């Protein structure tokens, strides 16, 4: 079991109120696990379950705000209001990252997560997060946003983007350039 997710996952509702004590819904965690372990939950063979547990445990330990939440130094509501990593789209992006990282570094993936602690997760970091995962009305949970967020994470841990990821990133950057021309 993963203490962080046991403590802060809503098991029944599919959405969270601003004052909810939970950070994620079970449905968003399930989606993230599909990205991580594959649709059939067998991406890592007989080690899939133990690998998935180890991965999420490591991620929960490397994100400083999640540790603050565990210690009671902040609230889930404050994290949802102020940060991007407190939303399902980022949880899914962590799943995408895990699948890529564990495949690339089967024996050294855990240490590779350390740079995630240095990312500026603030919603005010608009240059990085808007419109990548944030729209005019808040967080964007689209599959496109999951991939664009994962690209940030993949780069942060030192992996090169694969061809599809690079194409998504190039399209995203081109759309930003077009917006600047129009504006």
Which of 150, 135, 43, 34 is closest to 89 using CA atoms? Answer: 150
Which of 140, 136, 161 is closest to 151 using CA atoms? Answer: 161
3-state secondary structure (DSSP) of residue 25: strand
Given a cut of 70, the residues of the chain with pLDDT beneath it are 181-183
Q: Where are the domains of the chain?
A: 3-182
Q: Give the whole-angstrom CA distance, residue 108 versus residue 125.
A: 30
pLDDT in the model for residue 182: 63
Q: What is the DSSP string of 54-74?
A: HHHHHHHHH-HHHHHHHTTSS
Q: What is the DSSP letter of 159?
A: P
pLDDT in the model for residue 39: 87
Q: Which residues are bridge partners to 122 per DSSP?
A: 83
Within 13 Å and on the Cβ side, how many CA atoms surround 13? 11
Output the CA angle 60-64-67, nearest 5 degrees. 60
Q: Which helix (H) or strand (E) covers residue 11, if one does?
A: none
């Amino acid at each position: 079991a993963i203490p962080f997710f046991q403590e802060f996952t809503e098991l029944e509702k599919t959405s969270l109120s601003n004052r909810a004590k939970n950070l994620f819904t079970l449905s968003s965690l399930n989606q993230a696990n599909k990205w991580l372990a594959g649709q059939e939950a067998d991406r890592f063979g007989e080690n899939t379950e133990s690998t998935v547990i180890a991965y999420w445990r490591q991620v929960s330990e490397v994100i400083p705000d999640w540790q603050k939440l565990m210690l009671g130094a902040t609230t889930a509501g404050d994290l949802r209001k102020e940060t991007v990593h407190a939303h399902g789209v980022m949880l899914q992006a962590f799943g995408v990252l895990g699948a890529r990282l564990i495949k690339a570094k089967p024996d050294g993936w855990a240490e590779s997560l350390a740079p995630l602690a240095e990312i500026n997760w603030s919603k005010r970091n608009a240059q990085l997060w808007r419109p990548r995962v944030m729209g005019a009305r808040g967080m964007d949970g689209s599959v496109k946003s999951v991939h664009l967020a994962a690209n940030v994470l993949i780069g942060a841990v030192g992996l090169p983007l694969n061809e599809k990821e690079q194409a998504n990133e190039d399209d995203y950057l081109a759309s930003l350039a077009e917006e600047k021309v129009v504006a």
